[in-house]
Chain A
Amino acid sequence: MRHILSILMENEAGALSRVAGLFSARGYNIESLTVAPTEDPSMSRMTLVTRGSDEVVEQITKQLNKLVDVIKLIDLAESAHIEREIMLVKVHAQGGYREEVKRLTEIFRGSIIDVTASSFIIEVTGAQDKLDAFLKALEEQSVFEVVRSGATGISRGEKGLHL
C-alpha cells in the first residue's frame, strides 16, 4: 500500500537527516520526499511517500512521532486529500513530432516553458499516475531528461495538519 505521510516538524538543522536516518536505519523505503518551510517559518512541512503493509506504516508513524523534532503528522492517504507533483520533461521534438508533443501537453494541461529548434521543456503538474501517463504517451526515445519533485499533498475540507 502506498502512503503519503505529511509531517510538520521544527525547522531545525538536522531535522531532515533524523527522518532520513530513521528510514534507512529501520529499513523502510522512501519513494519520494519533499520539504520546505510553512507559513510559520519556524516549522517545515515534509511530504514523504512510502510503501508498506499497514503494520509497517503504523511502525513508521510511531517512530516518526518519537523524533523530538516532529511536531505532528498524518497519513494523507487515509482520507480525502489532494496530491500534486510537478514534473519537468525535456524532449527532442523535430518535424511532425513537435505538433504531437504540443497536443499531448494540452491534453495533460501542461505547458511548454522552453523551446529550441530541436527540443521542448514541458511542465506538468498532477498526481503521480497522471505524470506517469504523460511520460508513457510520449515517444520513449524522445524523452531525454525528467525531473520530478516528488509528491506533496493536503487533506480536503476542514481537516488538516496544523498546530
Chain B
Amino acid sequence: MELSGAEILVQSLKDEGVEYIFGYPGGSVLHIYDALFKQEDVKHVLVRHEQGATHSADGYARATGKPGVVLVTSGPGATNAVTGIATAYMDSIPMVVVSGQTPTPMIGSDAFQEVDTVGITRPCVKHNFLVKDVRDIAETIKKAFHIASTGRPGPVLVDIPKDVTDPAVLVSYEYPKKVSMRSYNPSVKGHKGQIKKALELMLRAHRPILYTGGGVVLGEASDELVALTKKLGFPITNTLMGLGSYPATERQFIGMLGMHGTYEANKAMHECDTLIAIGARFDDRVTGKLSEFCPNATIIHVDIDPASISKNVKVDVPIVGEVKGVLKEMLKLLNSGEFSPKPELISKWWERIEKWRSYNCLDYDRESKLIKPQYVVEQLYEVTNGEAFVTSDVGQHQMYAAQYYKFNKPRRWINSGGLGTMGFGLPAAIGVKLAHPESEVACVTGEGSIQMCIQELSTALQYKTPIKIINLNNGYLGMVRQWQEFTYESRYSHSYMDTIPEFMKLAESYGHVGMRIDKKEDVRGALEEAFAQKDRTVFLDFITDPTENVYPMIEAGKGHHEMRLAPGMITDEDLA
C-alpha cells in the first residue's frame, strides 16, 4: 500500500486502535488534518485550547488505561500543550502527542511558528522523537505507543515536520506488528527471593501498614491488592493517586495519608513498625518532613521504576517489578499454606487505630447556615451512589473531593496529583465521558480553577459529553488563602478575585444548563435535578463558606504526628 506521510500517520493510529484524537489544527499539521477528513475510524475532538486537548486525552487515558492521543500544530500549538504533557508525565499517564513542525529545510531558521518542541518537552516526556523521513513514521508511532504504555507509563511526543507529511510523496506502508528496542526493555518480574523475604517480614509485624499509590491503578492491580489486604488483615492507606484501588468503604481502609490525610492514617504511618509501600513514590506531600518519616519502620517497597526506590526514603526490602505480578506472587505464597497471617499479632495495633479513627477527623460544622463544601461532596456521593467518575482541579475542593467521596473502584478518581494543574478538571471530564458515555461524570472544581480551561465548555456541547460541574465557589483561591491564614497571619495577598463571572449565565451562553445554589437546603435537590438531566451538561455553582479550611493538615516541614486538626477536634494530648 502506497501512502503519504499524513495518511501513514492516520493509518498507524487506526492500526493502533485509537478511538479518539484530541487536537487543534494549524499550518504545519494541515496535511494530517486533510488525511483525518477522509476517514471516519479515528474520531477527532476539536478542543478550544491545546491545553484542553492534552487534559482530555489524559482523562481518557486515566479512565481507560489506554494511551490518550493528541494532535497539535507547531509553535504555539505545541507550547500550549506543554502543561498537559507535564501533568501526564508527573502522574505517569500514557499519552502520545503528535506535533507539527516547520518543514525540515527550515528548521533552525526561526521560521514562522517554529519552536524547538523536542527540546522544550524533553524534561517532561518519557521520550520524544523528531521524524525526519516519511519512511520512519509508522515505526516511530509504534514505538511511541509502546514506550508510552509499558513499564512506568508516560507521555511520548512525536514531532513531525510538515514536508514529511507531504501528500505528494508516497511510500509503502506497513504497520509494524511489534517493536524491539535494545535500549528499552522495561517489563520486570519481581525477584522471588525478595518477595518471600518481604512476606516473612510482613507476617512478623506487630504494627504493619500498607501504603499504596497510583502504581496500583496504573498496573491494574487493584483486585490483587484487595485480595492481599484482606488476607493479611492489615490496615491500608492510599495516596491521593491511589484512591479507589482499595474500596474506601471497607473497614481496613483508614483513609488517605499525607498533607491532608486522615488522623488515623498519618498516626499509623508514624507509629508503624513495618511499612509496605506499593506503587507509591514517597512524594513530599505524602511523607512530610523526611527525617520524621516512619521513624521505627522496616520499609518494603514494590515499584516498577527502580529510580523510585530509595530516592527520598531509604528502603530495606526493594522489589522492582510490575505490581500486579508481585502481588500475585505474594498471594500465591499465602495461599500455599507455607505462610499464614497471625491476626493476634496485630490486634493491639487495630485497637489503637480504631481509637484514632473514633475521633472522626473529617467531621465538620454541620450546623452552619452556610453551605459547607464537605457537605456538597457528601451529597454528591450519595446522589451518584458512589459510582461516578469524579475529576477535579487543584485546591481545597480537590482535597474535599478526595476526602469525602468514597471511591470504591480504581480509575474513578481523576486528578492532577503530581503537577497540581489548575484547569485539569473540565477537559479531563470530557475525555472521561467520551470513554464511558454510560457513566456519570462529575467535575469537582473551584471558581479559580474552572476559569483556567473554561473554554472547553464549548467542546463539551459540540461532542455531546454531558458532565456535571460541581463548582465549590468560595470566592477565594481557597488553598492559597488557607496557607496565608496559617503561615502569613491572614495577609490574603492576591488570593481573592474581585470579579468573577456569573457562572450560571456563562454556562447558559455556552449552551448548557446553569444553576446557582446558595442555600444549604437546596444542595441535595439541585444535585438530583442536575443528574436527572442525563443528556445535558449542568454547571452547578455552589456558593460555599469562604472561610472553610481543609483539615487535617500537615504543614510544610512537619511530620506525620504533627497534624493540625479542625478547630475543636480532640487529640491524643487532650486524652492523655
Q: Which residues of A contact B (CB under 8 A)?
A: 9-10, 13-14, 17-18, 21, 25, 55, 58-59, 62-63, 65-66, 68-71, 163
Task: Give the residue name and chain of the B residue nearest to A68 (CB).
Answer: B127
Chain A residues near B122: list those with CB within 8 A.
Answer: 14, 17-18, 21
Instruction: Report the bound CA distance from A68 to B186 in whole Å.
Output: 10
Instruction: Report the bound CA distance from A136 to B311 in whole Å.
Output: 40
B414 nearest CB across to chain A (Å): 26
Instruction: Report the bound CA distance from A70 to B127 in whole Å.
Output: 12
Task: Give the residue name and chain of the A residue nearest to B306 (CB).
Answer: A62
Instruction: Report the bound CA distance from A70 to B128 in whole Å.
Output: 14
Task: Identify which of B119, B126, B130, B306 gathers the most chain A CB atoms within 10 Å of its CB.
Answer: B306
Chain A residues near B314: list those with CB within 8 A.
Answer: 55
Q: Which residue of A13, A62, A163 is within 8 Å of B182 (Cβ)? A: A163
Question: Cβ of A68 and Cβ of B147 under 8 Å apart?
Answer: yes
Pairs A–B under 8 Å by Cβ, sample size 29 = A10-B183, A13-B130, A14-B118, A14-B128, A14-B130, A17-B119, A18-B122, A21-B122, A21-B123, A55-B310, A55-B314, A58-B310, A59-B307, A59-B311, A62-B306, A62-B307, A63-B307, A65-B306, A65-B307, A66-B305, A66-B307, A68-B126, A68-B147, A68-B183, A68-B184, A69-B183, A71-B182, A71-B183, A163-B182
**Extra pairs beyond A58-B310, A68-B127 (16, CB < 8 Å):** A14-B118, A14-B122, A14-B130, A17-B119, A17-B122, A25-B123, A62-B306, A65-B306, A65-B307, A66-B305, A68-B126, A68-B181, A68-B184, A70-B183, A71-B183, A163-B182
B69 nearest CB across to chain A (Å): 19
Chain A residues near B181: list those with CB within 8 A.
Answer: 68
Instruction: Report the bound CA distance from A63 to B147 in whole Å.
Output: 16
B208 nearest CB across to chain A (Å): 26
Task: Give the residue name and chain of the B residue nearest to A62 (CB).
Answer: B307
Instruction: Report the bound CA distance from A13 to B119 in whole Å.
Output: 11
A86 nearest CB across to chain B (Å): 29
Instruction: Report the bound CA distance from A55 to B311 in whole Å.
Output: 8
Q: Which residues of B contact A (CB under 8 A)?
A: 118-119, 122-123, 126-128, 130, 147, 181-184, 305-307, 310-311, 314
Task: Give the residue name and chain of the B residue nearest to A64 (CB).
Answer: B307
Chain B residues near A13: list those with CB within 8 A.
Answer: 130
Task: Identify which of B127, B147, B183 gathers the most chain A CB atoms within 10 Å of its CB.
Answer: B183
Task: Give the residue name and chain of the B residue nearest to A42 (CB).
Answer: B182
A59-B311, A62-B306, A66-B305 known; A9 and B183 CB under 8 Å? yes
Chain A residues near B306: list those with CB within 8 A.
Answer: 62, 65
B258 nearest CB across to chain A (Å): 22
Chain A residues near B118: list those with CB within 8 A.
Answer: 14
Nearest first, the 9 A-B pairs at minimum CB distance are A62-B307, A68-B127, A71-B183, A68-B184, A62-B306, A25-B123, A63-B307, A21-B122, A66-B307
Instruction: Report the bound CA distance from A69 to B119 in whole Å.
Output: 15
B297 nearest CB across to chain A (Å): 19
Instruction: Report the bound CA distance from A37 to B127 in whole Å.
Output: 22
Task: Give the residue name and chain of the B residue nearest to A63 (CB).
Answer: B307
Compute the total of residue contacts between A and B using a CB distance below 8 Å: 36
Instruction: Report the bound CA distance from A111 to B431 in whole Å.
Output: 68
Instruction: Report the bound CA distance from A17 to B125 in whole Å.
Output: 14
B184 nearest CB across to chain A (Å): 5
Chain B residues near A68: list those with CB within 8 A.
Answer: 126-127, 147, 181, 183-184
Instruction: Report the bound CA distance from A76 to B227 in whole Å.
Output: 45
Instruction: Report the bound CA distance from A49 to B123 in whole Å.
Output: 22
Chain A residues near B183: list those with CB within 8 A.
Answer: 9-10, 68-71
Task: Identify which of B118, B119, B130, B307 gathers the most chain A CB atoms within 10 Å of its CB.
Answer: B307
A96 nearest CB across to chain B (Å): 53
B411 nearest CB across to chain A (Å): 25
Chain B residues near A69: list those with CB within 8 A.
Answer: 183
Instruction: Report the bound CA distance from A12 to B182 in whole Å.
Output: 14
Instruction: Report the bound CA distance from A21 to B310 in whole Å.
Output: 22
Instruction: Report the bound CA distance from A125 to B429 in whole Å.
Output: 62
Chain A residues near B119: list those with CB within 8 A.
Answer: 17
Instruction: Report the bound CA distance from A58 to B310 in whole Å.
Output: 9
Chain B residues near A58: list those with CB within 8 A.
Answer: 310
A44 nearest CB across to chain B (Å): 12
Instruction: Report the bound CA distance from A68 to B119 in whole Å.
Output: 15
Instruction: Report the bound CA distance from A163 to B128 in whole Å.
Output: 24
Chain A residues near B307: list those with CB within 8 A.
Answer: 59, 62-63, 65-66
Task: Give the residue name and chain of the B residue nearest to A10 (CB).
Answer: B183
Task: Give the residue name and chain of the A residue nearest to B184 (CB).
Answer: A68
Instruction: Report the bound CA distance from A66 to B183 in whole Å.
Output: 9
B165 nearest CB across to chain A (Å): 20
Task: Give the residue name and chain of the B residue nearest to A69 (CB).
Answer: B183
Task: Give the residue name and chain of the A residue nearest to B143 (CB).
Answer: A68
Instruction: Report the bound CA distance from A71 to B147 in whole Å.
Output: 15
B129 nearest CB across to chain A (Å): 9
Task: Give the residue name and chain of the A residue nearest to B308 (CB).
Answer: A62
A10 nearest CB across to chain B (Å): 6
Task: Give the residue name and chain of the B residue nearest to A9 (CB).
Answer: B183
Instruction: Report the bound CA distance from A147 to B435 in whole Å.
Output: 59
Chain B residues near A59: list those with CB within 8 A.
Answer: 307, 311
Instruction: Report the bound CA distance from A69 to B118 in whole Å.
Output: 14
Chain A residues near B310: list those with CB within 8 A.
Answer: 55, 58
B473 nearest CB across to chain A (Å): 37
B315 nearest CB across to chain A (Å): 11
Instruction: Report the bound CA distance from A123 to B123 in whole Å.
Output: 39
Chain A residues near B123: list those with CB within 8 A.
Answer: 21, 25
Instruction: Report the bound CA distance from A10 to B129 in whole Å.
Output: 13
Chain A residues near B126: list those with CB within 8 A.
Answer: 68
B376 nearest CB across to chain A (Å): 40
Instruction: Report the bound CA distance from A13 to B127 in whole Å.
Output: 13
B57 nearest CB across to chain A (Å): 21
Chain A residues near B305: list those with CB within 8 A.
Answer: 66
Task: Give the residue name and chain of the B residue nearest to A25 (CB).
Answer: B123
Instruction: Report the bound CA distance from A18 to B307 in whole Å.
Output: 16
Instruction: Report the bound CA distance from A153 to B305 in whole Å.
Output: 29
Chain B residues near A55: list those with CB within 8 A.
Answer: 310, 314
Task: Give the residue name and chain of the B residue nearest to A15 (CB).
Answer: B183
Instruction: Report the bound CA distance from A9 to B182 in whole Å.
Output: 10
Chain B residues near A70: list those with CB within 8 A.
Answer: 183
Task: Give the residue name and chain of the B residue nearest to A14 (CB).
Answer: B118
Chain B residues near A17: list those with CB within 8 A.
Answer: 119, 122
